Copies of this chain bind each other. A is one copy, B any other.
Amino acid sequence: MSAASRVYCALVHHPVRDRAGATVTTAVTNLDVHDIARSARTYGLRRYYVVTPIEAQHVLVQRIIEHWTTGAGRKRIPERHVALALCESLPTLELAIADVERREGMRPQLWATAARSGVDRPVTRFDEGRGHLASADHPVLIVFGTGHGLADSVLQVADVLLEPIVGAGDYNHLSVRAAAAIVLDRLLGAGRDPAASH
Protein backbone atom coordinates (compact mmCIF):
# COMPACT_ATOMS: atom_id res chain seq x y z
CA MET A 1 0.00 0.00 0.00
CA SER A 2 1.55 3.28 -1.09
CA ALA A 3 2.01 6.06 1.42
CA ALA A 4 -0.29 8.36 -0.52
CA SER A 5 -3.16 5.96 -0.09
CA ARG A 6 -2.90 6.40 3.67
CA VAL A 7 -2.91 10.20 3.74
CA TYR A 8 -5.97 12.08 4.96
CA CYS A 9 -6.68 15.77 5.41
CA ALA A 10 -8.90 17.93 7.55
CA LEU A 11 -10.04 21.52 7.12
CA VAL A 12 -10.58 22.97 10.58
CA HIS A 13 -13.10 25.74 11.33
CA HIS A 14 -12.58 25.47 15.09
CA PRO A 15 -10.30 26.07 16.93
CA VAL A 16 -8.71 28.66 14.64
CA ARG A 17 -7.34 32.17 15.15
CA ASP A 18 -8.87 35.44 14.15
CA ARG A 19 -6.80 38.44 13.09
CA ALA A 20 -6.02 39.33 16.72
CA GLY A 21 -5.04 35.78 17.66
CA ALA A 22 -8.21 34.95 19.59
CA THR A 23 -9.71 31.48 19.16
CA VAL A 24 -12.83 31.53 17.02
CA THR A 25 -15.09 29.40 14.82
CA THR A 26 -15.23 30.31 11.12
CA ALA A 27 -18.05 29.63 8.69
CA VAL A 28 -17.78 26.91 6.07
CA THR A 29 -17.06 28.27 2.58
CA ASN A 30 -18.77 26.35 -0.22
CA LEU A 31 -15.72 26.40 -2.50
CA ASP A 32 -13.42 25.09 0.25
CA VAL A 33 -15.45 21.91 0.21
CA HIS A 34 -15.14 21.55 -3.58
CA ASP A 35 -11.62 22.73 -4.14
CA ILE A 36 -9.94 20.78 -1.37
CA ALA A 37 -11.93 17.65 -2.25
CA ARG A 38 -10.69 17.91 -5.84
CA SER A 39 -7.11 18.52 -4.69
CA ALA A 40 -7.34 15.65 -2.20
CA ARG A 41 -8.59 13.34 -4.96
CA THR A 42 -5.89 14.48 -7.37
CA TYR A 43 -3.15 13.71 -4.85
CA GLY A 44 -4.56 10.35 -3.84
CA LEU A 45 -5.82 11.18 -0.35
CA ARG A 46 -8.20 8.72 1.20
CA ARG A 47 -10.58 11.03 3.03
CA TYR A 48 -11.20 14.75 3.54
CA TYR A 49 -12.84 15.94 6.77
CA VAL A 50 -14.54 19.31 7.10
CA VAL A 51 -14.36 19.98 10.84
CA THR A 52 -16.92 22.35 12.32
CA PRO A 53 -18.81 22.26 15.63
CA ILE A 54 -21.79 24.10 14.12
CA GLU A 55 -24.68 21.75 13.47
CA ALA A 56 -26.22 23.84 10.68
CA GLN A 57 -22.95 23.75 8.77
CA HIS A 58 -23.01 19.96 8.70
CA VAL A 59 -26.34 20.20 6.90
CA LEU A 60 -24.75 22.62 4.41
CA VAL A 61 -21.74 20.39 3.78
CA GLN A 62 -23.98 17.36 3.43
CA ARG A 63 -26.14 19.19 0.91
CA ILE A 64 -23.07 20.12 -1.18
CA ILE A 65 -21.79 16.55 -1.10
CA GLU A 66 -25.17 15.09 -2.02
CA HIS A 67 -25.67 17.52 -4.88
CA TRP A 68 -22.50 16.26 -6.52
CA THR A 69 -22.56 12.62 -5.51
CA THR A 70 -26.20 11.64 -5.99
CA GLY A 71 -28.02 14.83 -7.06
CA ALA A 72 -28.29 16.93 -10.21
CA GLY A 73 -24.61 17.85 -10.19
CA ARG A 74 -23.51 14.29 -10.74
CA LYS A 75 -25.07 14.25 -14.18
CA ARG A 76 -23.63 17.61 -15.17
CA ILE A 77 -20.05 17.13 -13.89
CA PRO A 78 -19.63 13.40 -13.25
CA GLU A 79 -15.94 13.53 -12.29
CA ARG A 80 -16.75 15.75 -9.35
CA HIS A 81 -18.56 13.03 -7.41
CA VAL A 82 -15.33 11.05 -7.24
CA ALA A 83 -13.81 13.99 -5.38
CA LEU A 84 -16.77 14.94 -3.22
CA ALA A 85 -17.25 11.32 -2.19
CA LEU A 86 -14.02 11.69 -0.16
CA CYS A 87 -15.57 14.42 1.95
CA GLU A 88 -17.51 14.35 5.19
CA SER A 89 -18.10 16.82 7.99
CA LEU A 90 -17.36 16.07 11.63
CA PRO A 91 -17.78 18.21 14.74
CA THR A 92 -14.23 17.91 16.10
CA LEU A 93 -10.70 17.15 14.98
CA GLU A 94 -10.59 14.37 17.59
CA LEU A 95 -13.43 12.61 15.77
CA ALA A 96 -11.53 12.91 12.49
CA ILE A 97 -8.50 11.31 14.13
CA ALA A 98 -10.74 8.57 15.50
CA ASP A 99 -12.23 7.95 12.06
CA VAL A 100 -8.78 7.51 10.52
CA GLU A 101 -7.84 5.17 13.36
CA ARG A 102 -10.99 3.12 12.80
CA ARG A 103 -10.28 2.83 9.06
CA GLU A 104 -6.55 2.15 9.33
CA GLY A 105 -6.35 0.26 12.59
CA MET A 106 -3.73 2.73 13.72
CA ARG A 107 -3.76 6.26 15.06
CA PRO A 108 -2.59 8.74 12.38
CA GLN A 109 0.27 11.16 12.81
CA LEU A 110 -1.10 14.70 12.91
CA TRP A 111 0.69 17.05 10.51
CA ALA A 112 -0.18 20.73 10.94
CA THR A 113 0.45 23.61 8.57
CA ALA A 114 1.00 27.22 9.61
CA ALA A 115 1.53 30.33 7.48
CA ARG A 116 3.17 32.15 10.36
CA SER A 117 6.54 31.28 11.67
CA GLY A 118 7.43 32.03 15.27
CA VAL A 119 5.54 29.11 16.73
CA ASP A 120 7.91 27.91 19.43
CA ARG A 121 8.81 24.49 18.03
CA PRO A 122 10.87 23.12 15.18
CA VAL A 123 9.30 22.86 11.73
CA THR A 124 9.68 20.09 9.17
CA ARG A 125 10.77 21.03 5.66
CA PHE A 126 8.54 19.91 2.80
CA ASP A 127 11.27 17.77 1.24
CA GLU A 128 11.73 16.00 4.59
CA GLY A 129 7.98 15.52 4.89
CA ARG A 130 7.86 14.17 1.36
CA GLY A 131 10.61 11.68 2.09
CA HIS A 132 8.87 10.64 5.26
CA LEU A 133 5.52 10.06 3.53
CA ALA A 134 7.16 7.94 0.86
CA SER A 135 8.22 5.40 3.49
CA ALA A 136 5.74 5.96 6.32
CA ASP A 137 4.33 2.87 8.00
CA HIS A 138 1.47 4.80 9.59
CA PRO A 139 -1.40 6.95 8.31
CA VAL A 140 -1.02 10.73 8.27
CA LEU A 141 -3.73 13.34 8.81
CA ILE A 142 -2.75 16.73 7.37
CA VAL A 143 -4.60 19.57 9.10
CA PHE A 144 -5.37 22.91 7.44
CA GLY A 145 -6.74 25.90 9.32
CA THR A 146 -9.25 28.47 8.10
CA GLY A 147 -9.39 32.05 9.38
CA HIS A 148 -5.93 33.19 10.40
CA GLY A 149 -4.71 29.67 10.94
CA LEU A 150 -4.88 26.82 13.41
CA ALA A 151 -5.05 27.68 17.11
CA ASP A 152 -1.92 27.03 19.15
CA SER A 153 -3.73 24.20 20.92
CA VAL A 154 -3.71 22.27 17.61
CA LEU A 155 -0.17 23.22 16.66
CA GLN A 156 1.03 22.04 20.08
CA VAL A 157 -0.42 18.55 19.78
CA ALA A 158 0.64 18.05 16.15
CA ASP A 159 3.31 15.39 15.60
CA VAL A 160 4.74 17.36 12.71
CA LEU A 161 4.60 21.09 12.04
CA LEU A 162 5.29 21.79 8.37
CA GLU A 163 7.33 24.86 7.45
CA PRO A 164 5.41 27.89 6.15
CA ILE A 165 5.01 28.12 2.36
CA VAL A 166 7.48 30.66 1.02
CA GLY A 167 6.74 32.29 -2.30
CA ALA A 168 9.00 35.01 -3.65
CA GLY A 169 9.10 37.32 -0.64
CA ASP A 170 7.54 38.08 2.72
CA TYR A 171 3.93 38.09 1.58
CA ASN A 172 2.19 34.78 2.18
CA HIS A 173 -1.49 35.46 2.49
CA LEU A 174 -2.59 32.53 0.38
CA SER A 175 -6.17 31.33 0.50
CA VAL A 176 -6.52 28.04 2.38
CA ARG A 177 -7.63 26.49 -0.94
CA ALA A 178 -4.38 27.56 -2.59
CA ALA A 179 -2.25 26.65 0.43
CA ALA A 180 -3.79 23.18 0.67
CA ALA A 181 -3.14 22.56 -3.05
CA ILE A 182 0.49 23.64 -2.71
CA VAL A 183 1.07 21.57 0.44
CA LEU A 184 -0.33 18.43 -1.21
CA ASP A 185 1.71 19.08 -4.36
CA ARG A 186 4.91 19.63 -2.38
CA LEU A 187 4.36 16.47 -0.35
CA LEU A 188 2.84 14.17 -2.96
CA GLY A 189 2.96 15.66 -6.48
CA ALA A 190 4.62 13.55 -9.15
CA GLY A 191 6.05 16.58 -10.92
CA ARG A 192 8.36 17.49 -8.08
CA ASP A 193 10.94 14.76 -8.62
CA PRO A 194 12.56 15.14 -12.04
CA ALA A 195 12.95 11.35 -12.08
CA ALA A 196 9.25 10.78 -11.45
CA SER A 197 7.81 13.46 -13.72
CA HIS A 198 7.66 11.26 -16.83
Q: A-side interface residues toward B, CB under 8 Å?
A: 2, 4, 19, 31, 34-35, 38-39, 41-44, 77, 79-80, 82-83, 125-127, 163, 165-169, 171-175, 177-182, 184-186, 188-192, 194, 197-198
Expressed in whole angstroms, the minimum distance between the Cβ of A87 and any Cβ of chain B is 14
Q: Please list the 7 inter-chain residue pairs (A to B) with the smallest Cβ-Cβ separation, ordered nearest first.
A: A44-B168, A178-B181, A42-B167, A166-B190, A43-B167, A35-B175, A4-B168
Q: Within the assembled complex, what's the spacing in Å between the Cα atoms of A2 and B19?
A: 32
6 further contact pairs, Cβ within 8 A, besides A83-B173, A177-B178, A186-B189:
A34-B175, A126-B191, A167-B188, A168-B188, A174-B181, A179-B181
A42 touches B185 (CB 8 A): no
Expressed in whole angstroms, the minimum distance between the Cβ of A150 and any Cβ of chain B is 19
Report whether over half of chain A's contact residues are helix, strand or loop; otherwise say mixed: helix
A171 touches B82 (CB 8 A): yes
Copies of this chain: 2
With A31-B31, A165-B189, A191-B166 already in contact, the answer to whether A41 and B126 are too (CB < 8 A) is: no
Q: In the complex, which residue of chain B has the Cβ closest to the Cβ of A115?
A: B42
